[in-house]
């Protein structure tokens, strides 16, 4: 079987997933005397539609049998956070992490469970990785066709934590040293070292701190009295890509041994909006003289597709778009080894009918087929099929506002188990298409605020008995038989008007 191994249990899979938007929670406040942060360093990689944040916590346990550590984010940061993962430094295994407060709380707490409780004075280093969506905004909001683009990012200068922190600092890294300005406030003196400046710039990095002996800061009072906003205004030469809507349909066909994927994509350049009118002559001049072109204009999109993709198609509201280039993955067989279709990727380069300036939109449909045997297998012990469906095909650096994935199973199938790659809303529907009699069971997954980190696989276990397999050919045979009987009856039916010749004589 070529698809990745199915987790042994759903609990094992959900143990590494963060529930970022809980429905209703009642959490016990964290104990501030349980831990001490020896050092906290937050590194923020500034980008376009998404922002990568890595925070390192060197933690010292102040009690025996400490098994739960609590992270804290402000309500604003929590609302922007799309993805979160925590690990022990040097380990590749994510730790169990879950949100323990309601979304409307001013401080969001996330509980991390250690694999083994810590002893008194034991020290570990935790690495918290998060991705924020739409955290940077264009400044100015509008630019002319020949003007460059700049973005601005703001955040709190202190890393919130329910525990006392010995030393902490925050680093903001721009894509290039071309930083227009950054907030350099002289008011950050309470926790700063007297001999050092609270804010320094070195190349493309702006550092705030170090700040020493910061007491437990995960309280509304600390945020109101002590927390201050800092930020960076930086040049950004790439496209700020947003997908306001993505509608994916995955249809499984056993008779055709095929898995069809079709995406309807609403694409938007979310950078600085175009001021004035679009000048075609200026655009042609920039194509002839690339050094004068503005790189934030979206001219093409590159998709990385599985290696076994066949018959890709691409069209928009007008019709087929021929300005695309598909490069299938090179096949190199290695003796005694099978490679997954996810290990080798094909590439599809799509070029819209027009360049996408800031604030412009483009809607298109992308579809392709794949062999079903590469994504599904049969479990003889359960008498069921297990299929893996990619949740989305990510555009690097793009933010997805609203995503819906619809998986259409064969007619007559019965769903045994559904395992999404992360917490998401699930609905069950019925889909009708050609030659269907009772319709096909359909599972719909709905999510918001996603990034290119959400490219996992959906696992669905379902059963299809022999009668369901024969339902479609029997329906086709019944249709032909009915048509034959109607034609036969029609041939035997005489609709002519007969006259009585004897009476006429």
For residue range 275-318, list pLDDT tens digits in order: 888 888 787 787 777 666 678 888 888 888 888 898 899 998 88
In the three-class reduction of DSSP (H, G, I as helix; E, B as strand; rest coil), residue 75 is classed as helix
Tell me the CB-side half-sphere exposure of residue 232, using CA atoms within 13 A. 28
* DSSP one-letter code for 9: -
User: Would you say 411 and 436 are in contact if contact means Cβ atoms under 8 Å apart?
Assistant: yes
- Strands, E, within 179-240: which ranges? 179-182, 199-202, 205-214, 229-235
Can you give the length of the chain in residues?
Answer: 505
CA distance 49 to 133: 6
Q: How many CB atoms lie within 10 A of CB 298?
A: 23
User: Would you say 126 and 201 are in contact if contact means Cβ atoms under 8 Å apart?
Assistant: no
Q: How many CB atoms lie within 10 A of CB 303?
A: 23
Token digits for 323?
Answer: 């300005």
Q: How many CB atoms lie within 10 A of CB 71?
A: 24
Cα 356 to chain centroid distance, Å, stands at: 22
The pLDDT of residue 340:
56
User: Would you say 177 and 205 are in contact if contact means Cβ atoms under 8 Å apart?
Assistant: no
* DSSP one-letter code for 320: B
In the three-class reduction of DSSP (H, G, I as helix; E, B as strand; rest coil), residue 188 is classed as coil
CA distance 373 to 455: 21
Residue ranges of the alpha helices (H) in 10-111? 10-14, 75-80
User: Would you say 129 and 84 are in contact if contact means Cβ atoms under 8 Å apart?
Assistant: yes
CA distance 294 to 288: 13
The pLDDT of residue 341:
54
Helix, strand and coil content of the chain, in percent to the nearest 5, comes to 10, 45, 40
The pLDDT of residue 284:
78
Please, which residues bridge with residue 86 across strands? 128
241-253 β-sheet, strand order: 310-316, 361-371, 258-269, 241-253, 399-408, 440-450, 425-431
Token digits for 407?
Answer: 């998986």
User: Would you say 113 and 96 are in contact if contact means Cβ atoms under 8 Å apart?
Assistant: yes
Task: Encode the chain (505 residues) as per-residue pLDDT tens digits.
Answer: 334 444 433 333 333 344 444 444 445 678 899 999 999 999 999 999 999 999 999 999 999 989 999 999 999 999 999 999 999 998 999 998 999 888 888 899 999 999 999 999 999 999 999 999 999 999 999 999 888 999 999 999 999 999 999 999 999 999 999 999 998 876 677 788 777 788 889 999 999 989 999 999 999 999 998 998 999 999 999 999 999 999 999 999 888 899 999 999 999 999 999 988 888 878 778 777 766 667 888 888 888 888 889 889 999 888 888 778 888 876 555 445 555 555 567 888 888 888 899 999 999 999 999 999 999 999 988 889 999 999 998 898 999 999 999 999 988 888 899 999 999 999 999 888 777 677 889 999 999 999 999 989 999 999 988 666 676 777 778 888 888 888 888 888 777 776 665 555 5
Closest CA to 439 of 408, 474, 463, 470: 408
Q: Which residues contact 291 (CB under 8 A, 6 or more apart)?
A: none
The pLDDT of residue 251:
95
* DSSP one-letter code for 192: B
User: Would you say 386 and 459 are in contact if contact means Cβ atoms under 8 Å apart?
Assistant: yes
The pLDDT of residue 14:
36
Q: How far is CA 72 from CA 14, 28, 39, in A?
A: 21, 14, 15
User: Would you say 164 and 36 are in contact if contact means Cβ atoms under 8 Å apart?
Assistant: yes
User: Would you say 269 and 298 are in contact if contact means Cβ atoms under 8 Å apart?
Assistant: yes
Please, which residues bridge with residue 85 across strands? 129
Angle at 163 between CA 162 and CA 165, to 5 degrees: 125
Q: Which residues contact 368 (CB under 8 A, 6 or more apart)?
A: 260, 261, 305, 309, 310, 311, 312, 313
Question: Structure pTM?
Answer: 0.83
CA distance 447 to 425: 6
User: Would you say 214 and 158 are in contact if contact means Cβ atoms under 8 Å apart?
Assistant: yes
In terms of Cβ atoms closer than 10 Å to its own Cβ (0-12, 13-18, 19+), residue 499 is exposed
For residue range 431-462, list pLDDT tens digits in order: 887 776 778 899 999 999 999 999 899 999 99
């Amino acid at each position: 079987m070529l698809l990745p191994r199915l987790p042994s249990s759903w609990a094992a899979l959900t143990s590494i997933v963060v529930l970022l938007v809980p429905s209703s929670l009642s959490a016990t406040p964290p104990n501030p005397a349980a831990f001490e942060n020896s050092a906290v360093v937050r590194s923020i990689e500034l980008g376009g539609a998404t922002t990568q944040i890595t925070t390192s916590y060197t933690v010292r346990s102040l009690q025996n049998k400490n098994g739960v550590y609590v992270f804290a984010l402000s309500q604003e940061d929590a609302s922007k956070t799309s993805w979160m993962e925590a690990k022990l430094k040097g380990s590749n295994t994510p730790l169990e992490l879950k949100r323990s407060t309601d979304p409307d709380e001013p401080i969001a707490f996330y509980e991390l469970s250690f694999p083994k409780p810590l002893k008194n004075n034991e020290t570990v280093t935790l690495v918290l990785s998060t991705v924020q969506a739409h955290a940077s905004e264009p400044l100015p909001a509008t630019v002319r066709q020949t003007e460059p683009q700049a973005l601005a990012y703001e955040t709190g200068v202190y890393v919130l934590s329910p525990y006392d922190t010995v030393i902490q600092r925050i680093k903001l890294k721009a894509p290039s040293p071309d930083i227009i300005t950054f907030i350099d406030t002289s008011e950050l003196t309470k926790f700063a070292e007297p001999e050092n400046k609270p804010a320094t710039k070195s190349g493309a990095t702006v550092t705030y701190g170090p700040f020493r002996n910061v007491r437990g800061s995960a309280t509304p009072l600390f945020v109101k009295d002590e927390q201050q906003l800092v930020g960076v205004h930086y040049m950004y030469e790439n496209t700020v890509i947003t997908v306001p809507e993505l509608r994916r349909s995955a249809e499984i066909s056993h008779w055709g041994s095929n898995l069809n994927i079709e995406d309807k994509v609403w694409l938007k350049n979310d950078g600085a909006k175009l001021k004035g009118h679009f000048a075609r002559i200026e655009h042609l001049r920039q194509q002839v003289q690339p050094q004068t072109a503005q790189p934030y204009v979206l001219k093409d999109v590159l998709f990385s597709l599985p290696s076994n993709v066949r018959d890709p198609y691409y069209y928009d509201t007008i019709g087929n778009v021929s300005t695309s280039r598909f490069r299938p993955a090179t096949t190199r067989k290695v003796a005694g080894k099978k490679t997954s279709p996810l290990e080798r990727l094909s590439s599809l380069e799509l070029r819209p009918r027009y360049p996408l300036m800031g604030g412009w939109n483009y809607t298109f449909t992308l579809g392709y087929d794949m062999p079903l045997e590469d994504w599904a297998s049969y479990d003889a012990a359960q008498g069921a099929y297990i299929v893996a469906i990619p949740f989305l095909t990510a555009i690097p650096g793009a933010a997805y506002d609203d995503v819906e994935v619809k998986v259409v199973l064969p007619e007559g199938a019965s769903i045994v188990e559904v395992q999404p790659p992360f917490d998401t809303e699930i609905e069950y529907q019925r889909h009708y298409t050609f030659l269907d009699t009772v319709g096909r069971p359909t599972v719909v997954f709905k999510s918001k605020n996603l990034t290119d980190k959400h490219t996992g696989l959906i696992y669905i276990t379902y059963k299809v008995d022999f009668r369901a397999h024969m339902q479609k050919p029997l329906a086709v045979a019944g249709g032909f038989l009915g048509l034959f009987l109607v034609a036969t009856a029609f041939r035997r039916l005489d609709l002519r008007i007969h006259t009585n010749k004897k009476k006429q004589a």
